[in-house]
Amino acid sequence: MNNEIDKLITNVKSGNLNDFALLYQKMSKGVYALAFSILGDKPLAEDAIHETFIRVKLMANSYASGTNGTAWVLRITRNICLNVLKKRKFEVNFSTNEQSPGFESIDHISQKPEYAYDKKNEFENSIERFVLKEALNKLKDNERQIVLLYSVKGLKHHEIADLLNIPKATERWQYRSAIGKLKNLLKNY
Amino acid sequence: MKNKSEKEILDILSNAIEKDMPDVWDKIKNNQKSRLSDIECEMPTPIKPRRNLPIKRISSIAAAFVIIIAGIYISLFYGGGILKMFGNKPNMSLDSRFYIVEANNTLYYQDFTDGSKLYSMDMNGGNRKKLCDDYVVNLIADGEYIYYQNLNDQKQYRIRTDGTKRELLANVNGDVVIHDEFIYFTGNNGIYKINKNGQGLEKLSDVLANTLRFYNEKLYFSGIPTNNDSSNGGIYKMNLDGSNIQKISDQTTHDFKMSNNYIFFQIYGNKISHYIYRINIDGTGMKKLLDKELTTGTFDIKDNNIYFISSENSTPSLYKMDINGANITKLIDNFEATTINVIGNTVYCYHPSYGGRLFKVDTERKAKLEILTNYNKNNTDK
């Protein structure tokens, strides 16, 4: 998978636009899984996919061929999503306080975007969506990102650890914890 | 009810993502920035073989693409718009962890204002100097060298403190301890030891470990429960050659610190607890040191004091207490950090907001000074 994505991005870098389309086809599910796991909001996640692939195309020249293309694309997605959360925080701050924003906790927002979860009534219409909603609500942020990224079958554990910049063993641990919680949640399903 | 298997759960999630996933290809194609609408570019159907375009045509598309991208970049760059277009620096650090060490009265750190490269600066934050272009993590100062892992290629390097003689040591990842001529590290399936020159790889333990510490000529490590062996969790110790492995505590944790013949940790077992606990290095005498949870889960220990972030009425602050959990003192009110490093008499606190901010806290004066920041850069993007 990784070699394939690396090759596709390298080809995009050389101007092969059909490979850009192929790259979208191969990566969009993973990008959506990550964006949704961070933002917890479908329209925002949709914007994040859009923005990710625009940036991938514009920034392809900066991609170091032979490295981990999957992680490169998903890192772009992650930055976009965290910026979205950060800008939301800015908006809130600026509307309540016109002075210097001071020392704000972006990490809090990126880890606990509860405000976004409140908007997900759209996921109550099917079992799968219900499951997804439950997963979002019950899992910790890293757990949610890890299990969704892993479930889309595009990423290996060590790639997820690299992407989230956490030790591989921690990633395994959090994955295991997420699976454990989901087993409990889905007992009656 | 029968528990679902791991595979069934993954399938449920994967299907949910699949069914829910929007298709934004047309949006991307028609986006002015992408310029794809100007050029023929079709979404391939699944597993459709790639079209073999004539070389001439590929060349002309490639040339058009390069010219368009170069044009966009040049116009935006010279128009001062490239940052606005990307929002923030695309490679800025948004990590909650930060790495800084001290050697010979100089700080060596991961510079989040410049792609997490290795820099040095004096103890006051002045005389910043880049040592190398690697994306560095897990810094260790040892003699005249700084050891680090390069995230670009996942390998272990060292470089002299003056920025010369950068050397690739070994293909190593995980938590690392440097002692004498050896690198000890937590791999994906156990704990290993290798010579600094990259030779003589030796497996010391099969326990999947997260944190590795060197203390009193022994290695201590936190074992992580695995799918195959949930009893793997706990705190262990062993000799430097891997012999005499002993599980000294069943408490699962993924990070811990050692000082004054104690081990300090938070519990990450079935119940996660962000309180600080302490045990003796033989695993006995467990004690909860603080009734308040750590807000960001980070703490550091220096000279019989523990420095940590905790909150009152949702307001986080920097505190210190002694290693017995007494004499709690608030150092900085309304302050938060996701990494705390105490070096000498100074507490260095890092927070990832605004792309990263590094503060130096004077514990005597209870004052903070920002010494490195992305704040201005990112605030002008707003």
Which residues from chain A sit within 8 angstroms of residue B336, using beta carbons?
Answer: 103, 105, 107
Return the axis-axis angle of helices A17-39 and A69-96, rounded to nearest 10°.
50
**pLDDT range class, residue A103, cuts 50, 70, 90:** very low
Quote the tokens at residue B254: 């993924």
Which residues from chain A sit within 8 angstroms of residue B150, using beta carbons?
Answer: none
Which residues from chain B sit within 8 angstroms of residue A57, using beta carbons?
Answer: 34, 36, 69
What is the number of CB-based contacts under 8 A between chain A and chain B? 215
Overall average pLDDT of the A111-139 stretch? 46
- On whether the pTM is more than 0.80, the answer is no
Which residue of chain B has the CA closest to A179? B6
**pLDDT range class, residue B96, cuts 50, 70, 90:** low
Domain locations along chain B: 6-86, 289-382
Which residues from chain A sit within 8 angstroms of residue B15, using beta carbons?
Answer: 128
Nearest to B25 among A24, A78, A104 (CB): A24
**pLDDT range class, residue A106, cuts 50, 70, 90:** very low
| Positions of E strands within A13-143 | none
**pLDDT range class, residue B357, cuts 50, 70, 90:** confident
**CATH value of B289-382 in 1.25.40, 3.10.450, 3.40.50, 2.40.10:** 2.40.10
**Distance from the Cα of residue A146 to its chain's centroid:** 9
Question: Are A189 and B4 inside 8 Å of each other by CB?
Answer: yes
Mean pLDDT of chain B: 78
Q: In chain A, count H helices and then E strands.
A: 10, 0
Which residue of chain B has the CA closest to A8? B50
pLDDT given at position A116: 29
Question: Are A33 and B51 inside 8 Å of each other by CB?
Answer: no
Do A73 and A52 touch, CB atoms closer than 8 A? yes
Question: Are A32 and B382 inside 8 Å of each other by CB?
Answer: no
Question: Are B137 and A46 inside 8 Å of each other by CB?
Answer: no
Quote the tokens at residue A158: 């060590």
Question: Are B3 and A183 inside 8 Å of each other by CB?
Answer: yes
Burial of B54 (0-12, 13-18, 19+ CB in 10 A): exposed
Q: What is the pLDDT of residues B210-255, one digit of tens each?
A: 889 999 999 999 987 765 666 788 999 999 999 999 999 998 887 8
Q: Is the pLDDT of residue B127 over 80?
A: yes
Domain locations along chain A: 1-93+122-187
Q: Is the dihedral of CA B148, B154, B157, B162 positive or negative?
A: negative
Q: In a mutagenesis test of the A interface, which of B8, B94, B370 is the best target, namely the one with the most A β-carbons within 10 Å?
A: B94
Which residues from chain A sit within 8 angstroms of residue B209, using beta carbons?
Answer: 169
Name the minimum distance, in Å, from the CA of A115 to any CA of chain B: 17
CATH of domain A1-93+122-187: 1.10.1740.10
Question: Are A179 and B53 inside 8 Å of each other by CB?
Answer: no
Do B261 and B252 touch, CB atoms closer than 8 A? no
